[in-house]
Amino acid sequence: MAILLNNMGFENQPWADVFADELPDMPVHVWPEVPDPAQIKYAVVWKHPHGDLRRYPNLQAILLLGAGTDHIDAEPDLPKVPVVRLLDPDVGNDMAQYALYWAMHFHRRYEDYRQQAQRAEWQAHEVTRSKEFRVTVLGLGIIGQEVAQRIAGGGFCAQGWNRSPRQIEGVKTWHGAGELSEALQHSDVVVNCLPLNDSTRHLLNRQRLSALPKGAFLINISRGAVIDDDGLIELLNDGHVSGAALDCFAQEPLPQESPYWRMPNVYVTPHMSGSTYVKSASRPVVENIRRLEKGDVPQPIHLPPQHAAST
């Protein structure tokens, strides 16, 4: 039996090399070169073409090569096999650092100082104490919890909102749809860590973002379509939202005609807040294949809506 490998849009060879070293008895076939679909036991994939996974009659598990699940959740004909998320601690660390960096940037008004320096202008600005600067993380899953803890560790007033209750030491939390507006109303910065699904698409629209205090900031390290771009752009233009650090977008690469490129209060990065490093990310993937080979349950299991609807 063999592994199907497709790290769509990224290099496959480093992953193939790891599997050859760690799982020498299991051949690796890099999609689309699959000599015998019946030999595929595990699909190790990222943004794999919809419909193709049905070609492998002996498929026993799908192991994702990225943290997001929206692509697999949109698969219209997903085989009823376990779907395993990638949990790489280095990715969470990178994303938490990204969020902390921009929280510090917005809090201390570093953009103002950069612009002043270009004018040879010497002017200090008063800011609130960091422990009074409220940074709220939306979505307290594995990544969101790490981000909130890093924000707290950076000395900020760390807060969080989640659909279901979460308790995180040192972090004030809200939960449920009824408390989202309250969470936003008490935020100087919002960090979006929400997954993209039917309930979160355009959740952060103009109406909800208007609940933020005037002058608040937004950081997006999750999925672009959680935000209604038209609504955010309106609020950025009228100053209700002072600035945004955006790492992900509804369409990627971000089209050249997007207004975000030309807005002085928007900081665009090319979906790099959390990079997948083969050296660290391969360990949980290999370990999960070994678990499956022994008949054990891989971790962490993701329940796609297609599977949930059929249970």
Query: Is 283 designated active site?
Result: no
- Give the pLDDT band of residue 311 (cuts 50, 70, 90): low
Catalytic residue among 71, 202, 240, 271: 271
Domain coordinates of the chain in residue numbers?
Answer: 2-88+276-310, 89-268
CATH level 2 (architecture), domain 89-268: 3-Layer(aba) Sandwich (3.40)
Catalytic residue among 29, 105, 166, 223: 223
CA 215 to chain centroid: 25
- Give the pLDDT band of residue 308 (cuts 50, 70, 90): confident
Asked if residue 14 has a cis previous peptide bond (ω within 30° of 0), the answer is no
pTM, 2 dp: 0.92
Mean pLDDT of 287-298: 98
Mean pLDDT of 114-133: 97
- Domains 2-88+276-310 and 89-268 agree in fold: yes
Mean pLDDT of 201-217: 98
Lowest pLDDT segment from 186-195, 233-242, 274-283: 274-283
Strand partners, 30: 5
Report how far residue 24's alpha carbon sits from residue 209's, in angstroms, rounded to the nearest whole number: 52
How confident is the model over 229-274, as pLDDT tens digits?
999 999 999 999 999 999 999 999 999 999 999 999 999 999 999 9
- Predicted confidence at residue 9, as pLDDT, reads 85
Asked if residue 253 has a cis previous peptide bond (ω within 30° of 0), the answer is yes
216 φ, ψ to 5°? Answer: -75, 170
Query: Is 223 designated active site?
Result: yes
In CATH terms, the superfamily for domain 2-88+276-310 is NAD(P)-binding Rossmann-like Domain (3.40.50.720)
DSSP for 144-192, please give it: HHHHHHHHHHTTSEEEEEESS---BTTBEEEESGGGHHHHHHT-SEEEE
